[in-house]
Amino acid sequence: MTAATTGAAGRVPTRRRRRRITRLLVAALVLVIAGVGVLALAWSRASTDTTGRVIFDRPLAIPPLAPSRSESGTRVFDLRAGAGTTDFGVGDGVTRTWGFDGAYLGPTLRAERGERVRVDVTNDLGESTTVHWHGHELPAEMDGGPHQAIEPGQTWSPTWTIDQPAATTWYHPHPHGRTAEHVHRGLAGMFLVDDDDSRTLDLPSEYGVDDIPVIVQDKAFTADGQFDHRSGPFSPTGVLGDTVLVNGTIGPYLEVDRDKVRLRLLNASGARIYDFGLVDDHGHDREFAVIAGDGGLLPSPVTADRIRLSPGERAEIVVGLQPGRDVVLRSHPTDLGADFWNQRFSGGDDRLDVLQLRAADRLVPGPDLPGDLGPPPDLDPADAGVTRAFRLGGTSINGLDMDVRRIDHVGTAGETELWEVTNAGGTPHDFHVHGVRFVVADVDGRRPPPPLRGWKDTVYVAPGTTVRLVLRLPRHADPDSPYMFHCHLLQHEDRGMMGQFLVIEPGQEPGRPPAAGHDAHALTQG
Ligand code: C2O
Ligand code: CU
Ligand code: CU
């Protein structure tokens, strides 16, 4: 009896339990299906396509050339970082922005190889910042990294002698943990270096006429016309905007009356990787000539129909125009080497119209492009005395987050080193080194494509890929001031994907790891 009772009593709860379990399973299934649905919806909405939808109705702004004065042989520039408002034609036209000597972006600095320059940078922002000369070979103290803080109301006056080939370089803030926001608000500008070769070669070189700075940034705007600094919930790389600005102009066109125009392309975005191409008014791809990379002219022009630039990279291209015909600079979908999820949420599937070139009905013909632009880089992996490995994963390098008090490695001034940079994670990264130019020796053992065979300072590193770089360390030794290396996807950099190296003379002792900002003064004085 006892057994039967137990059996009967046990049967009822078992049936109930089964029913409950079934109900739970159904609920879980519904949740999973809903979750997959939400993700699928997010995935399908994650790509942006503005092609054919951008109305090119605003003349492209050309950043003014920064005025300079000569002080006992030194070319002196002034830059003032401050806040303002800009009318982008969005919302009520009062977007709060930051800029140098103006409300958005900054003037173009220009100097010649061999010249001594000084820039008096004044901080009129309400917070500490720095200004870094991206692409310049200079003493670490002048580099403008996280250790050279400029406090509000202060002026910082770095000075150095330009001794590197002609190139399109740029400047932007680098305060530790705040770089993405400072750049995104609008603090960035170009710095052109000229030399005897670049001056005598038959290249389009009239600034703002046939030699055009093209600073490309993507923005998202809030409903009330402000910059939206938030990145999407699934974004592995940072803020991706659906609105492209060139030199601060939305929907820009440029009228050209020459048969060739040189575009100095700078990816000044924090996260977006562009794959630029040109499309004519019949929708056909047009070829162009790539003449320079980050660090200067290529050995010879390279014919291409695409040029991919990750954040921080530059390229100079020369575009041939036909009378009365428009061409559009467009960013195409690009295989980032990531899985379908990261590809999508890093913007790899996006299509964006960038800039319209409007050719006049009569074009002034210029000379053909020279076949030779200069000597190829003279660095070879075989010359490297030191090999170093850098593993990019998560937002760390070699498992470590940036620490302003930690020196990651110490090298010898002028020595050639081989840096093996591996993206060990699933998300896109790039890699930038301060104070040097480098050569991309190979990508997973293969020679890089021709546009990457010149001098560079920033390079894309696809997931699962190893890029080997050969570089000659700066000749300026300083046991106390480090140079930075980092991912130039600015959110990654801010989250810690950065490290520091010192360059010293043989026999010299490395100094104490300095801290950033005020602490640095306290430490060096203490
Ligand atoms: Cu353009 Cu350390 O950066
Ligand atoms: Cu830099
Ligand atoms: Cu990164």
Per-residue model confidence (pLDDT) at position 514: 65
Q: Would you say the CB of residue 132 lies under 6 angstroms from ligand 1?
A: yes
In a domain, 262, yes or no: no
- Residue 156: pLDDT over 90: yes
CA of 145 to the centre of ligand 2 (A): 8
Q: What angle (nearest 5°) sits at the alpha carbon of residue 51, between those of residues 49 and 54?
A: 110
**Dihedral (Cα; 299, 300, 306, 310), 10-degree rounding:** 20
Closest ligand to C-alpha of residue 266 is: 1
Q: Would you say the CB of residue 486 lies under 6 angstroms from ligand 1?
A: yes
- Residue 6: pLDDT over 80: no
- Residue 59: pLDDT over 70: yes
CA of 484 to the centre of ligand 2 (A): 8
- Residue 423: pLDDT over 80: yes
DSSP symbol at 105: B
pLDDT digits (tens, 9 = 90+) for 275-308: 999 999 999 999 999 999 999 999 999 999 999 9
- Residue 129: pLDDT over 50: yes
What CATH number did the domain enclosing 394 receive?
2.60.40.420
Q: Say how far apart CA 378 and CA 389 lie, in whole Å.
A: 22
CA of 200 to the centre of ligand 2 (A): 28
pLDDT bucket at 481, cuts 50 / 70 / 90: very high
Q: Which of 10-24, 227-241, 507-521 has the lowest mean pLDDT?
A: 507-521
Q: What is the mean pLDDT of residues 27-44?
A: 87
pLDDT bucket at 232, cuts 50 / 70 / 90: confident
CA of 432 to the centre of ligand 2 (A): 6
Q: Which two tokens stand for residue 477?
A: 């030794």
Ligand 2 ion: Cβ-proximal residues, 5 Å cutoff: 134, 434
In a domain, 5, yes or no: yes
Q: Which two tokens stand for residue 49?
A: 């396509």
**For the chain, what is the total number of helices (H) and then of strands (E)?**
6, 34
Q: What is the mean pLDDT of residues 425-454?
A: 98
Per-residue model confidence (pLDDT) at position 201: 97
Beta bridge partners of 192: 110, 168
Q: Say how far apart CA 241 and CA 229 lie, in whole Å.
A: 9
The residue range of the domain holding 443 is 381-525
Q: What is the mean pLDDT of residues 16-29?
A: 91
- Number of domains the chain is built from: 2
Q: Which of 1-10, 18-27, 126-135, 220-229 has the lowest mean pLDDT?
A: 1-10
Closest ligand to C-alpha of residue 268 is: 1
Q: Which two tokens stand for residue 65?
A: 């050339």
Q: Is the pTM of this model over 0.75?
A: yes
Q: Would you say the CB of residue 432 lies under 6 angstroms from ligand 1?
A: yes
In a domain, 461, yes or no: yes
Q: Would you say the CB of residue 429 lies under 6 angstroms from ligand 1?
A: no
For 388-402, the DSSP string reads EEEEEETTEETTB--
Q: Would you say the CB of residue 172 lies under 6 angstroms from ligand 1?
A: yes
In a domain, 189, yes or no: no
Q: Which two tokens stand for residue 297?
A: 């002219």
pLDDT bucket at 516, cuts 50 / 70 / 90: low
Helix (H) or strand (E) holding 327: strand 326-331
Beta bridge partners of 82: 99
Q: Would you say the CB of residue 174 lies under 6 angstroms from ligand 1?
A: yes
Phi first, then psi, for residue 58 (nearest 5°) are -125, 135
Q: Would you say the CB of residue 147 lies under 6 angstroms from ligand 1?
A: no
Q: What is the mean pLDDT of residues 103-120?
A: 98
In a domain, 128, yes or no: no
- Residue 93: pLDDT over 90: no
Q: Which two tokens stand for residue 500?
A: 């520091």
Share of the chain above pLDDT 70, in %: 95
pLDDT bucket at 43, cuts 50 / 70 / 90: confident
Ranges assigned E (strand) in 145-270? 155-156, 159-161, 167-172, 189-194, 211-219, 243-246, 249-250, 252-258, 260-267
CA of 169 to the centre of ligand 2 (A): 9
Q: What is the mean pLDDT of residues 403-427?
A: 97
Strand ranges of the sheet holding 296-304, from the earlier edge strand across to the other edge: 249-250, 243-246, 211-219, 260-267, 314-320, 288-293, 296-304
Atom of ligand 1 nearest to the CA of 486: 2
Q: Would you say the CB of residue 136 lies under 6 angstroms from ligand 1?
A: no
Atom of ligand 1 nearest to the CA of 493: 2
Helix (H, G, I), strand (E, B) or coil at 201: coil
Q: Would you say the CB of residue 492 lies under 6 angstroms from ligand 1?
A: no
- Choose among 361, 351, 291: nearest CA to 319: 291
Last residue of a domain, one of 46, 65, 81: 46
Q: Would you say the CB of residue 312 lies under 6 angstroms from ligand 1?
A: yes
CA of 433 to the centre of ligand 1 (A): 8
For 49-85, the DSSP string reads B-TTT----EEPP-PPBPPEEEETTEEEEEEEEEEEE
- Residue 37: pLDDT over 50: yes
CA of 510 to the centre of ligand 3 (A): 28
pLDDT digits (tens, 9 = 90+) for 350-395: 999 999 999 999 999 999 999 999 999 999 999 999 999 999 999 9
CA of 174 to the centre of ligand 1 (A): 7
- Residue 10: pLDDT over 60: no
Maximum Cα–Cα distance across the chain? 112
In a domain, 41, yes or no: yes
In a domain, 96, yes or no: no
Per-residue model confidence (pLDDT) at position 5: 46
- Residue 91: pLDDT over 80: yes
Higher pLDDT among residues 430 and 37, named by residue = 430
pLDDT bucket at 413, cuts 50 / 70 / 90: very high
Residue whose CA is closest, atom 3 of ligand 1?
Answer: 134
Q: How far is CA 291 from CA 37, 179, 261, 368, 451, in A?
A: 47, 30, 12, 13, 8
Atom of ligand 1 nearest to the CA of 145: 2
Per-residue model confidence (pLDDT) at position 3: 45
pLDDT digits (tens, 9 = 90+) for 300-330: 999 999 999 999 999 999 999 999 999 999 9
Ranges assigned E (strand) in 209-325? 211-219, 243-246, 249-250, 252-258, 260-267, 274-280, 285-286, 288-293, 296-304, 307-309, 314-320
Q: What is the mean pLDDT of residues 41-56?
A: 90
Q: Say how far apart CA 461 and CA 421 lie, in whole Å.
A: 8
Per-residue model confidence (pLDDT) at position 513: 65
In a domain, 412, yes or no: yes
- Choose among 214, 170, 168, 167: nearest CA to 331: 214
Q: What is the mean pLDDT of residues 197-214?
A: 97
Residue whose CA is closest, atom 1 of ligand 1?
Answer: 134
